[in-house]
Amino acid sequence: MRGKVVFVGAGPGADDLITVRGARVIAEADIVIWASSLVHPGIVATTKPGALIVDSATEALEDTEAHYRRAAEEGLLVARVHTGDPSIYGATGEQYEQCRQLGLDYETVPGVSAYSATAARMNAEITIPEVCQSFILTRLEGGRTPMPPRETVRGFAAHGATMALYLSAARNKQLQAELLAGGYPPETPCIVGYRVTWPDEMMLRCRLDDLSATMREHKLWKHTIVMVGPALAEGHSGTRSHLYHPGFRHEYRAADPEAKSDLRANGAGAVHTQETTP
Percentage with pLDDT > 70 across the chain = 93
> What are the sequence ranges of the domains in the chain?
4-109, 114-232
- On the 0-12 / 13-18 / 19+ scale of CB atoms within 10 A, 146 is exposed
Q: 89 Cβ partners below 8 Å, 6+ apart? A: 139, 166, 167
Q: Using CA atoms, how far apart are residues 193 and 186, in angstroms rounded to an integer?
A: 20
Q: 169 Cβ partners below 8 Å, 6+ apart? A: 175, 215, 220, 221, 222, 223, 224, 226
Is there a contact between 31 and 71 (Cβ–Cβ < 8 Å)? yes
CATH fold of 114-232: 3.30.950
pLDDT, one tens digit per residue, over 151-178 is 999 999 999 999 999 999 999 999 999 9
- CATH number corresponding to 4-109: 3.40.1010.10
pLDDT at residue number 277: 41
**b/e map 259-268, b = 16+ CB within 10 Å:** ebeebeeeeb
Is there a contact between 109 and 35 (Cβ–Cβ < 8 Å)? no
Task: Give me the residues of the chain with pLDDT under 70, please.
Answer: 1, 236-240, 266-278
- Kind of pairing, strands 52-55 and 31-34? parallel
Q: What pTM value is reported for the model?
A: 0.86
pLDDT at residue number 177: 98
pLDDT, one tens digit per residue, over 170-216 is 999 999 999 999 999 999 999 999 999 999 999 999 999 999 999 99
Helix/strand/coil percent split, the chain, to 5: 30, 20, 45
